[in-house]
Amino acid sequence: MAEVVVTMTNQLYYSCHWPKPLLRLAVRSRALKMSLHFDLVDLRLMVRIAESDSLTKGAEAAHMSAPAASTRIKHIEESLGVKLLQRTSQGVKLTPPGQAFVHHARLVLGQLAHLRADLQEYTLGIKGHLRVFANTTALGEFLPPVLRRYLMFHPDVSVDLQERLSHDIVRAVTEGQADIGIVAGLVRTENLQVLPYRRDRLVLVVSAGHALAGAPPVTFADTLAFDHIGLHESSAIRAFLQQICVGLGRPITQRIQVGNFEAACRMVEAAVGVAILPESAASRHVQTMAIHIVPLADPWAERVMQICVRNLDALPLFARDLVDLLVADAREAPRT
């Protein structure tokens, strides 16, 4: 092993141990120990370029001119001895070393953001800050009672709870942007530790007088003939269904957009349209509204949820306490 010390001018010193083969990306000489000088502006610039696939747009997002950005990239490449960007007719794309650079840049910038947030919380008397990313169903149906119990016993911990698509959650946990993630469906989590959580299904909800009320299971494609009640634009379920529509090559007609499951059910009851919702939510509202649940025959309608973390043992104790509560909640849940 050899040590590479990356010195950043914004008073951050980042030291890590790399296996010798990886040093070939960064070292042209035979020396196994060297100093690479990056500043945080360099890291942010590379991330912005990667996000926009354009040096010009990346420079603009990083609040600098394109020539200044080009000069910075050139200096980084000369320091490393490798090309980070490949110019194309459509803009730029990352080379393999560039991808590695951006991956670690995101980790460093993410940790800095967490550091600022955590220290700010301490000034307000908060002793811990926990970031939890979850899919729509987990966030709306299963997490509220668990978090209520958790916060009762951890009054000095604040929780940042965000709704995301499952593959975005995996990336956020992998890159350190989230401490705990709850994902659903077929998503690759091989770089993370996972624990089983809940199961739920997506179902079709229709009004009492609808043509599909009481029908046998239907496919999602069958429902596209009807107007739909959509959840808000940032909803993970809405984004997931849009992806399904792209695969089918058919559009979904959103008659109206609402903010939560109850509002969707009320619009369905008023015969405004149909809705695709978690069965757990639909089953609760069917008790008090004139609506019917129709099963979806699509295999993806079955939603198996998992808790994911980067390293359970590396989590602070207050974070592991929440994982333990989630696991206990899954054990106590009725089998579906």
Does pLDDT of 113 surpass 90?
A: no
125-178 per-position pLDDT tens digit: 556 788 999 988 888 889 999 999 999 988 888 899 998 888 889 989 988 889
Checking if the pLDDT of 287 tops 80, the result is: yes
Ranking 99-113, 160-174, 270-284 by mean pLDDT, the lowest is 99-113
Domain contains 117:
no
- Specify the pLDDT at position 16: 44
Amino acid at 279: E
In contact, 329 and 146? CB cutoff 8 Å: yes
Nearest to 231 by CA among 210, 248, 209, 256: 256
Helix residue spans in 154-293 (DSSP H): 166-174, 220-223, 236-248, 261-269, 279-285
- The predicted model scores a pTM of 0.58
Q: What is the domain-level CATH number for residue 20?
A: 1.10.10.10
Structural element, H or E, at residue 176: none
Q: Tell me what the pLDDT averaged over the chain comes to.
A: 83
The pLDDT of 325-333, averaged and rounded, is 89
φ, ψ of residue 299 in degrees (nearest 5): -60, -35
Specify the number of domains making up the chain. Answer: 3
Rounded distance between C-alpha atoms, residue 251 and residue 293, angstroms: 23
Tell which wins on pLDDT, 257 or 33. 257
Say what the pLDDT of residue 141 is.
Answer: 86
- pLDDT the model gives residue 76: 87
Residues 120 and 142: their CA atoms lie apart, in Å, by: 29
* Choice between 320 and 3, residue whose per-residue pLDDT is larger: 320
Residue with tokens 């978090």: 147
| Nearest-5° Cα angle at 173, 171 to 178 | 120
- Give CA–CA dist 256/227, Å, rounded: 9
* Residues 232, 85: Cα–Cα separation, whole Å: 37
Q: Is the pLDDT of residue 116 over 80?
A: no
- The more confident residue out of 322 and 125 is 322
207 and 296 in a single domain? The answer is: yes
Report the pLDDT value the prediction gives residue 228, as an integer from 0 to 100.
95
Query: Is the same domain home to 173 and 215?
Result: no
pLDDT at 246 over 70: yes
Same domain, 238 and 270: yes
Which DSSP symbol is given to 267? H
Would the CA dihedral through 178, 183, 189, 193 be positive or negative? positive
Q: How confident is the model at residue 108 (pLDDT cuts 50, 70, 90)?
A: confident
The C-alpha atoms of residue 75 and residue 85 are separated, in whole angstroms, by: 13
121 inside domain: no
Structure confidence by residue, pLDDT tens digits, 58-99: 888 888 898 998 899 888 888 888 899 988 878 888 999 888
- Domain final position from 110, 138, 162: 110
Same domain? For 22 and 106 the reply is yes
Give the count of beta carbons closer than 10 Å to the beta carbon of residue 143.
20
User: Please, which residues have CB within 8 angstroms of residue 299's CB and are 6 or more apart in sequence?
Assistant: none
Mean pLDDT confidence for 271-282: 93
d(C-alpha 186, C-alpha 167), whole Å: 9
* Distance between start and end Cα atoms, the chain: 51
pLDDT score for 124: 57
State residue 1's pLDDT score.
37
Within 8 A by CB and 6+ apart from 116, the residues are none
Three-state SS string over 294-330 comes to: EEECCHHHEEEEEEEECCHHHCCHHHHHHHHHHHHHH
CA atoms within 13 A on the CB side of 31: 8
pLDDT at 227: 94
- Give the pLDDT confidence score for residue 270 in this predicted structure: 95
Query: Could you tell me if residue 67 is inside a domain?
Result: yes
Within-domain flag for 215? yes
Whether 246 and 287 share a structural domain: yes
Check residues 32 and 90 and name the one with the higher pLDDT.
Answer: 90
| 211 & 185 share domain | no
Average pLDDT over every residue of 260-277: 94
CB contact set of 98 (below 8 Å; sequence gap of 6+): 46, 50, 83, 84, 85, 86
Read off the CATH number of the domain in which 137 is found. 3.40.190.10
Residue 235: strand, helix, or coil: coil
pLDDT in tens, 192-241: 999 999 988 999 999 998 999 988 999 999 999 999 998 887 677 888 89
Q: Is the pLDDT of residue 31 over 50?
A: no
Within 8 A by CB and 6+ apart from 155, the residues are: none
Domain boundaries, position 29: 2-110
What is the per-residue pLDDT for 123?
60
Residue 182 banded pLDDT, cuts 50, 70, 90: very high
Do 230 and 292 reside in the same domain of the chain?
yes
With a cut of 60, say whether residue 248 has pLDDT above it: yes
